[in-house]
Amino acid sequence: MNKKHESLLRRDSVQTLLASLVCVLGGLIVGYLVLLIIEPSGAFEAIVAVMKSFLRYPGALKMKYFGQVLVRTAPLLMCALSVLFAYKVGMFNIGAAGQYCAGACAALYAALAWHLPWYVCLILGMAAGALLGMLAGLLRTLFNVNVVISGIMLNWITLYLTNLVLGTVKSPSSPFTKSLQSTNPGALMPSLGLGKLFNNEKSVTIAIPLAVIMAIVVWVVLNKTKFGYELKATGSNYNAARYCGMKENRNIILTMVIAGALAGLGAGLLYLTGIEDWETTISSVPGMGFNGIAVAFLGGLSPIGSILSAFFIQYITTGGGNVDLQVYCSQISSLISALIIYLCAFVAFFKFFIQTRLRKADERKAAKAAQIQEGGEEK
Amino acid sequence: MTLLIQYTLIFASVLMLVALGGCFAERSGVINIGLEGIMVIGALGGALVLKFLPASVGAPVMVLATVVVSALFGLIFSLLLAVAAINFKADQTITGTAMNMLATAAATVAVKAMNTAASGGNDVSSDIAYTHTKDLLLVRIGGFEFNWFMVVAVLCLIAAYVALYKTRFGLRLRACGEHPQAADSVGINVYKMRYAGVLISGLLGGLGGIVYITAGVSVWKFENGVAGFGFLALAVMIFGAWHPLKIALAALLFGFCRALGNVYSGFGFLLAMNIPSVVYNMLPYIISLIVLAFTSKKSRAPKAEGIPYDKGSR
C-alpha cells in the first residue's frame, strides 16, 4: 500500500496536480482571510458562495448557469493553449491578450459590417490573431525584440485599434457593439442541439466541444509529431536546434503564428455565441488573455490539464458574483485567481521540495538496507 | 502650449521614476514586469494619504507624507517579487504578471471595501477622490503649474545616477546583474544585492504610481489600474539602455507623446487633421515598438537578468 502511494507521488503528473491543488488552496485561504478582514460576520458564507458558483442555483437554473460557465471556459481555454504553446517553445506569450482583442475585432467586424456567416468570421478572427502573433515573431527574429515587451506594446495598440474599428459598428445608444442576434443571426455559431442540454441556454454552441478538440490537437502536435518536437527543441536550445539543421527562426515565427491563431480563435468562440458584446470604451486590455496565463500554469502547462484549470478559474470567477455586493465585491474572485497564479510561480520549487524529500527517503532506506546487510555479513 | 509642456514634464517624471526603478531591478539581475502592479499599490498608498490627511497640515508635510507612504507601499509590494524570484528562484515573468493582476484586484477590493463600509453599502465604486488636498502638491508660477513631484523625480534621477555609477554599492549591484558568479566569488552577497535592486524598484515604482494618478485628475478609479504606464516605463528603460541619464531623455520623449494625447485638442492644426483620439493613445506604444525594433539588435541588457542565481551552480 505504502509502496504504491510512493510510486504515485513520484510521477511528474501527480506532482504537478498536487502543486496545483496547493496553489488553489493557498489562493482560497488568502481570499477567505481578505473577506474576514473586510467583514468577519459573513465571510464564511461569502467564500462558500464563491466556491459553490453556479451550483447554488436550483434545478433548471443551475444547468443554464452551468452552460454559461462552459461558454466562457472555451475562450479561456484557447488563451491558455496559446500561452502554453508558446511557452513550450521558450516564449512567454503575454501578447495573448492582444491577439484575443484582434480576434474579437476581426470576427465581430466581419459579422456586423460585412454580414458574413459564422465560420468565415471565426477564420478571420483566427487570422487576425495569427497576424499579430506573426508580428511579434518577426520582431523577435528580425530585430531581436523580446516577445514579452513587444507583446505588451501590441496589447495596448490592438486594444485601441479594436475600439476604433468596432466603434463603427456599435449600437447608437450604448458603448456596446450591435447584437449579433438582431444584426446578423447567421454569424451566431450553431448549437446543434447542445443548448437543449443546458435548459435551452442559447449561448451554448459547438464552441465548447471545438475548444476541447483544439486542446487535444495541441497536445498531439506538441507530443506526437516531428513538428512539435522541433519546436520544443528550438525552445530548449536555440543554438543546438540550429546546429541540427532546424530552421530556428521559421520555428519561432510559426509558433507565434499558431499561438496568435489560438488566442484569436478563442475570441471568436466567445463573441460569436452572442453571450456578450464588445464594449468600445474599455480602457484596459480584457483579462481573458492574462487569465489564460493563470490557466496554463495552473494546468501544469499541459493542454489536458488546462481544460480542467480553465473550467476551475471560470467557475471561481462566476462565483465571485455570488457574494453579498452590499458588503463585499465580485473582484474577490480576480484576487483569488491572481493569488493562484502568483503561487503557481512556486510550482517548480514545490516539485523540487517533493523530489528532495523522496530522494532523502530513498537514501535513508538504502542506508538502512546497507546496515542490515552489513549486520548480516558480520554474523 | 504651456499645458503641453506641463503634461510632458509630469508624464516624463512618472516614466522616469518607474523606469529608474526597473533599471535598478534589472541591473541587479531581476526582470521586473510587475512594475505596473507596484505603481497601482503605490498609488493606492499615496491616494489614501491625500484622502485622509487634512489639508491644514501644509504643503511640505503633505508632499513628504505622500512620497514616503507611496514609496513604502511600493516597496512592501515588491517584496512579493523579491521573495519569489530570489529565494524561491521562481520564473520572474510569471511572478511579475501575477503581481500586476494581484495589484489591480487587491486595490479594487480594498477601495471598494473601504467605500462600501464608509457609505453603508450605497457607494460601491472603486474611486478615491483627493480634490481638496491635490492643490497642495502644485506650485503655480505664472500660468505654469509645477508639481512638487517633478522635483522629487529630478532628485531621484541624480541619486540613481550617483548610486549606480559613483558608489561601491552601484558597482556591486551591476556586477550581480552581469555575472553573479564572479561577484559571489569576490565576496559580494548576490542575494542581498538583488534584494536591494528589487526593493529600490518597488520604492521608485510606488512613487511613480502616485505621481501618475495625481497628474491632471483628482479622482482615481482603481479598477482601471494605471492603464499600462508601468509597461511603457519598461519600454523607456530599454530605450534608455539601462542607463539613468538616457532613461531621463527617453522619458521626456515618451512623456511628450503621451501628453499630446491629453492636449492635442488645444492645437488648431492637430485638431484640423481630424485624427481620432485613440491614435494619440496608441502613439507612445507604436513609437516604443519601432524604437525597440531599431535598438534591440545590439542590446545593452544586463547579461544575467532573468536567471535566478543558484549558489550551488557556481
Q: What's the whole-number average pLDDT of chain A?
A: 86
Pairwise CB contact (< 8 Å): A339 & B293:
no
Give helix then strand counts, H and E, for chain A.
17, 0
Place of cell 489639508: B55
Interface test with B, best of A32, A142, A145 (most B CBs within 10 A): A145
What pLDDT, in 10s, does the model give residues B133-188?
777 777 777 777 778 888 899 999 999 999 999 999 999 999 999 999 999 999 99
pLDDT tier at B79, thresholds 50, 70, 90: very high
Question: Which chain A residues are Cβ-neighbours of B93 within 8 angstroms?
Answer: 92, 94, 148
pLDDT tier at A90, thresholds 50, 70, 90: confident
Across B105-109, B197-201, B223-227, which has the greatest mean pLDDT? B197-201
Q: Which of A157, A329, A338 sits opposite B101 (nearest CB)?
A: A338
* Closest chain A residue by Cα to residue B91: A345
Domains and CATH numbers, chain B: 2-313 (1.10.3470)
Higher pLDDT, B133 or A291: A291
Pairwise CB contact (< 8 Å): B278 & A163:
yes
pLDDT tier at A107, thresholds 50, 70, 90: very high
Q: Percentage of residues in chain B with pLDDT exceeding 90?
A: 41
C-alpha neighbours within 13 Å on the C-beta side of residue B69: 18
Q: For A244-287, where are the alpha helices, taking DSSP H only?
A: 248-271
Rounded to whole angstroms, how far apart are CA atoms B245 and B248?
5
Q: CA of A379: how far to CAs of A222, A271, A373, A374, in Å? A: 57, 79, 10, 9
Residue A349 burial (10 A CB sphere; 0-12, 13-18, 19+): middle
Q: CA of A128: how far to CAs of A103, A179, A257, A258, A262, in Å? A: 5, 21, 10, 11, 10
Interface test with A, best of B101, B116, B232, B239 (most A CBs within 10 A): B101
Pairwise CB contact (< 8 Å): B282 & A161:
yes
Place of cell 471598494: B112
Phi first, then psi: give them for residue B299, nearest 5 degrees.
-75, 140
Interface test with A, best of B32, B102, B109, B254 (most A CBs within 10 A): B109
Q: What is the mean pLDDT of residues A230-257?
A: 85
C-alpha cell at B15: 516614466
Q: Which CATH number describes the domain made up of A15-373?
A: 1.10.3470
Query: Coil, strand or helix: which one is B174?
Result: helix
Nearest-CA distance B151 → chain A (Å): 29
Q: Which of B105, B288, B292 sits opposite A331 (nearest CB)?
A: B105
Question: Which chain B residues are Cβ-neighbours of A152 within 8 angstroms?
Answer: 228, 231, 234
Q: What is the mean pLDDT of residues B280-296?
A: 83
Q: Which of A152, A326, A335 sits opposite B109 (nearest CB)?
A: A335
Looking at residue A203, its pLDDT comes to 80
Residue B297 burial (10 A CB sphere; 0-12, 13-18, 19+): exposed
pLDDT at B249 over 90: yes
Pairwise CB contact (< 8 Å): B225 & A331:
no
Q: Which of B94, B231, B282 sits opposite A345 (nearest CB)?
A: B94
Q: What is the mean pLDDT of residues A53-81?
A: 87
Q: Which of A145, A287, A342 sits opposite B80 (nearest CB)?
A: A342
pLDDT tier at A222, thresholds 50, 70, 90: very high
Nearest-CA distance B104 → chain A (Å): 8
Looking at residue A1, its pLDDT comes to 42
Rounded to whole angstroms, how far apart are CA atoms B142 and A169?
46
Q: What is the mean pLDDT of residues A344-358?
A: 81
Q: CA of B108: how far to CAs of A341, B41, B208, B291, in Å? A: 18, 10, 19, 34
pLDDT tier at A376, thresholds 50, 70, 90: low
- CB A214, CB A262: distance < 8 Å: yes
Question: Which chain B residues are Cβ-neighbours of A105 within 8 angstroms?
Answer: none
Q: Give me the residues of A, 176-215, that contact B with CB < 8 A.
A: none
Question: Which chain B residues are Cβ-neighbours of A157 within 8 angstroms?
Answer: 282, 285-286, 289
Query: Is A160 touching B (CB cutoff 8 A)?
Result: yes
Question: Which chain A residues are Cβ-neighbours of B291 within 8 angstroms?
Answer: none
Q: Which of A149, A327, A341 sits opposite B101 (nearest CB)?
A: A341
Nearest-CA distance A202 → chain B (Å): 31
Q: Which of B95, B109, B285 sits opposite A329 (nearest CB)?
A: B109
- CB B281, CB B34: distance < 8 Å: no
Query: Is A152 touching B (CB cutoff 8 A)?
Result: yes
Q: What is the CA radius of gyration of chain B?
A: 20
Pairwise CB contact (< 8 Å): B228 & A284:
yes
Residue A193 Rama label (left phi>0; alpha psi -120 to 50; beta): left
Question: Which chain B residues are Cβ-neighbours of A337 within 8 angstroms?
Answer: 101
Nearest-CA distance B197 → chain A (Å): 20
pTM: 0.87
Query: Is A344 touching B (CB cutoff 8 A)?
Result: yes
Question: Which chain B residues are Cβ-neighbours of A150 within 8 angstroms?
Answer: 289, 292
Burial letters B169-187, b for 16+ CB under 10 A, else e: ebebbbbbbeebeebbeee
pLDDT at B116 over 60: yes
Question: Which chain B residues are Cβ-neighbours of A38 within 8 angstroms?
Answer: 109, 113, 117
Query: Is A39 touching B (CB cutoff 8 A)?
Result: yes
Query: Is A22 touching B (CB cutoff 8 A)?
Result: no
Q: Where are the domains of chain A?
A: 15-373
Pairwise CB contact (< 8 Å): B281 & A160:
yes
Question: Which chain B residues are Cβ-neighbours of A313 within 8 angstroms?
Answer: none
Q: Give me the residues of A, 204-263, that contact B with CB < 8 A.
A: none
Q: Which of B98, B116, B121 sits opposite A342 (nearest CB)?
A: B98
Pairwise CB contact (< 8 Å): B98 & A341:
yes
pLDDT at A284 over 90: no
Q: Which of B99, B279, B281 sits opposite A342 (nearest CB)?
A: B99
Query: What are the residues whose beta carbons fall under 8 Å from the beta carbon of A44, sequence distance 6 or more?
Result: A32
Q: What is the mean pLDDT of residues A156-170?
A: 90
Nearest-CA distance A221 → chain B (Å): 25
Looking at residue B200, its pLDDT comes to 96
Looking at residue B165, its pLDDT comes to 94
Q: What is the mean pLDDT of residues B222-250?
A: 87
Instruction: State the distance between the two ends of chain A, measured CA to CA, in whole angstroms.
Output: 32
Interface size between A and B, measured as CB pairs under 8 A: 147
Across A59-68, A79-88, B287-296, B304-313, which has the greatest mean pLDDT? A79-88
Q: Give me the residues of A, 82-101, that contact B with CB < 8 A.
A: 92, 94
Nearest-CA distance B143 → chain A (Å): 31
The closest of B40, B64, B62 to B52, measured between CA atoms, is B62
